[in-house]
Structure 1
Amino acid sequence: MGRLTGGDPSLLRRINSAVVLHALRAAAPSSPPTLTDLVKATGLSRPTVEGVVEGLIDSGLVAEASAEEGVARRQGRPARRFRFRAEAGHLLGVEIGPHRVAALLSDLSGRVTGSAAAEVTETASADERLERLRATVADLLRRADVPRGALRAVGVASPGIVEADGTVRLGTALPEWTGLPLGERLRRSFRCPVLVENDANAAAVAEHWKGAARGVDDVVFVLAGLSPGAGSLIGGRLHRGFGGAAGEIGALHLLGREATPEEVLSPTDEPLHPLDEAQVVRVFALAREGDERARAAVDRYLRRLVHDVAALVLALDPELVVVGGWAAGIGGVLDPLRTELARYCLRPPRVALSLLGDSAVATGALRLALDHVEGELFAVERPVTAR
């Protein structure tokens, strides 16, 4: 595209379109705005607003509101009212995990309109896992009566260190995941922008959007499992680090701590095997029942978790630490974290459980897709159009 200048009329049209579209999208559904309302909200002239609205109607992003969508009719001819067409496109948020794949479907406002999940074996190959995901998404779209071509963007969250192009640089939690061109593989299936992110990072975004971290801009989310990971927001922005590896606190046990997770969580003299969530839940249950060796195993796990989280807290000084993942459901995590962080940290943060539970990762992936589409809708570099 050629160089744009301040007097470029096409640039001004795109700026005006973005401003009016933003006002329409922000309006309450129960009170769709009139042209007069849009003039007041945008500061633009009435002829400019009229022209922009007609263009947005032609693009499919805006529609004239029906009488039922407007306020109560008054005598005389009612003013025309307009609404943002959230149904003009759809978004997907996808989680790919060791034991399941899950997907959330939303309209362009981010309102969730459908969900689906399916179990997958921990030993499944990359091809098997992706095929399971495709089948799950296909079923979700079929039930929601949404054609695949209506998808505007797909957010994907997965364990591992993820490159900017969606390639998994390192992923030890899933078989055949290291080096997998995940973004490229999924773009072949969806043929729309696919944004791939680490699962803990996505969950941090979700908690900031709809969960325990709403209104908090400096937050650490801990995905507490067998090998914990973390995502962090600094000033309300996701912090990925130079190579996307920020928050990989599960690797800290390699730095001078030789005990493996299998040894840490074992209530016997032998490593815990198989090391899966069911086994860990059993150990925590034995600890609650008073088994001394199980209590010792749980204490070791919590000390390691506190050590890992304290490293991030000391480095980032967050206002809030949110704990999610399966460990958050076992119980007894928050009080030890609060106590030990108070011992180790110069300014202990607040600690809270995730409000989104097992939907946090997929919700964060959906938010990433929504961010991408919003960037397109309100960009001024090119016209905004619906598909």
Structure 2
Amino acid sequence: MTEAAGTGVDLSGLRELNSLTVMRALRDNSPATVTELSQRTGLSRPAADVIAQSLVAGGWATVIEPGSSSTVGRPARRYRFRSTAGHVIGLDIGVHKVLLLLTDLSGEVVHSERRTVSADAEPEQRLAALDDVIRESLAATGLSASEIWAVTAGVSGPVDATGRTRLFTPIPGWADVDLAAHLARTFGCPVVVENDCKLAALAERWKGAASDASDVVYLLAGMRIGAGLIIDGVLRRGHGGAAGEIGALKNVRWLAAPSHLENCPGVPESVSADDAAAWVFDAARRGDKNAKTAVTKYVKDLAVGAAALVLTLDPQVVIYGGGFSRSADIVLEPLHRELARLCLRVPELRASTLGADSVALGAVRLALNELDNRLFNSTLSSPSAPRGNAVS
């Protein structure tokens, strides 16, 4: 970004553009001196200084006064993006839980709230749990709904343009739920609904195991298997929001893969269906023959769909995430062998580092992206929550 002068130049628009440029630089690399802001933006030092001071006056930045420890020259004043100017919410509404993460504008988690939900809960019960975690989180942080700048919710199943999961969802009765409209009754800010696998992929590239990769296949491995795709650094939804739903093909065998763990011989009757897989993985570590056979069959079925995605997209990395990622120690090596047998080139396989928070963290990232799209394509006023209808 450079300064311009001369007849015909929209100086007001240019100042606005320069202010947005400095704020983006400050947000991405904070704190920073005026000299550093000048170097990052291409603006002259005096111009960067004036804009930095105006951002402080407008509530977008704070000043870090120089300390007294420096003995050479005059220490430089530094500016920090005021990440507490606003907050966003990321939600993970799954089969067994509702998880909320409330963060500041830098993505720093300020508060988390979780509710366990029965797998066969009716939509009304699940929405009531959602309302509870929202109410508790706002109360715990002392924030009002009007102080939330963006909300993103992750759900199981492909999400269409209306924010609904009409094609398929494992959550009972959820295909008829208008989640965006429900959340809009509480929040006046932008609301986005997205598929959980896609959000988990976004989170892994933001703060997880794929932070150094631009081409990523994320495998959400649990009692349901799904995939999220990032190509050239961009999350891919597909035309109808169903990108990555390769498990819908029965020949891919993802639908049947978890049954090898559920139906493993030797699982004690006292172990619930939800906990059977964890028992089998633990038994396989101990050398149990039936458990090792079940894990082998599960990995072979998982590899079929994973190989199809690898051959199609040629990713840099494949992330093994979801609830089963805690068993990556006994899954990744045989999965690599299967992919080597099926693929022309095997990408690096990595275990998720975000665990159960991956979907909610991805929701936070998407909420922050939504804010960026609005903030950096508009005029820069004092910090306030964007207003808007629910979107998907």
Give the TM-score normalised by the residue count of structure 1: 0.86
1:53–1:306 distance in 2 versus 1, CA, 3 Å = same
Name the residue aligned to 1:93: 90
Amino acid at match of 1:172: T
Note if contact 1:306-1:341 (Cα within 8 Å) is conserved in structure 2: yes
Distance across 2 between alignment mates of 1:258 and 1:382: 49
Note if contact 2:202-2:235 (Cα within 8 Å) is conserved in structure 1: yes
- 1:141 correspondence with 2:138: yes
Query: Which of 10, 13, 28 is matched with 1:11 structurally?
Result: 13
The 3-state SS of whatever aligns with 1:178 is helix
Distance across 1 between alignment mates of 2:126 and 2:53: 45
Name the residue aligned to 2:79: 82
Deviations 1:16-54 (A, max 9, x none): 11112123223433xx424x5544443335664455445
1:127–1:74 distance in 2 versus 1, CA, 3 Å = farther
Deviation of 1:66 after TM superposition, in Å, equals 4.8
Note if contact 1:14-1:383 (Cα within 8 Å) is conserved in structure 2: yes
Amino acid at match of 2:33: P
| Structure 2: runs of 5 or more not aligned | 1-7, 385-392
Name the residue aligned to 2:25: 23
- 1:306 correspondence with 2:303: yes
Note if contact 1:170-1:177 (Cα within 8 Å) is conserved in structure 2: no
The 3-state SS of whatever aligns with 2:338 is helix
Name the residue aligned to 2:121: 124
Distance across 2 between alignment mates of 1:139 and 1:378: 32
Note if contact 1:205-1:238 (Cα within 8 Å) is conserved in structure 2: yes
Query: Which of 164, 167, 189 is matched with 1:167 structurally?
Result: 164
Name the residue aligned to 2:227: 230
Query: Which of 355, 358, 382 is matched with 1:357 structurally?
Result: 355
Deviation of 1:247 after TM superposition, in Å, equals 1.2
Name the residue aligned to 1:371: 369
1:77–1:303 distance in 2 versus 1, CA, 3 Å = closer
Deviations 1:339-372 (A, max 9, x none): 0000000011111100111111111111111111
What RMSD, in angstroms, separates the aligned Cα atoms of the two structures?
3.1
Deviation of 1:222 after TM superposition, in Å, equals 0.2
Distance across 1 between alignment mates of 2:29 and 2:314: 36
Q: Percent identity?
A: 42
Name the residue aligned to 2:245: 248
| Structure 1: runs of 5 or more not aligned | 1-5
Distance across 1 between alignment mates of 2:236 and 2:293: 35
Name the residue aligned to 2:387: none
Name the residue aligned to 1:105: 102
Deviation of 1:109 after TM superposition, in Å, equals 1.4
Deviation of 1:81 after TM superposition, in Å, equals 4.7
The 3-state SS of whatever aligns with 2:102 is strand
Name the residue aligned to 2:343: 345
1:38–1:292 distance in 2 versus 1, CA, 3 Å = closer
Amino acid at match of 1:346: L
1:313–1:300 distance in 2 versus 1, CA, 3 Å = same
Distance across 1 between alignment mates of 2:304 and 2:188: 43
Name the residue aligned to 1:62: 61
Note if contact 1:376-1:384 (Cα within 8 Å) is conserved in structure 2: no
Deviations 1:279-338 (A, max 9, x none): 222333444455544443333222111111111111111111010112222352111110
Deviations 1:76-97 (A, max 9, x none): 9987653321110011111111
Distance across 2 between alignment mates of 1:119 and 1:149: 27
Distance across 1 between alignment mates of 2:299 and 2:286: 17
Deviation of 1:99 after TM superposition, in Å, equals 0.9
- 1:204 correspondence with 2:204: no
Distance across 1 between alignment mates of 2:18 and 2:100: 35
Note if contact 1:224-1:328 (Cα within 8 Å) is conserved in structure 2: yes
Aligned residues, how many?
A: 375
Query: Which of 263, 268, 282 is matched with 1:266 structurally?
Result: 263
1:177–1:85 distance in 2 versus 1, CA, 3 Å = same
Distance across 2 between alignment mates of 1:53 and 1:18: 11
Note if contact 2:87-2:104 (Cα within 8 Å) is conserved in structure 1: yes
Distance across 1 between alignment mates of 2:334 and 2:55: 54
The 3-state SS of whatever aligns with 1:113 is strand
The 3-state SS of whatever aligns with 2:112 is strand
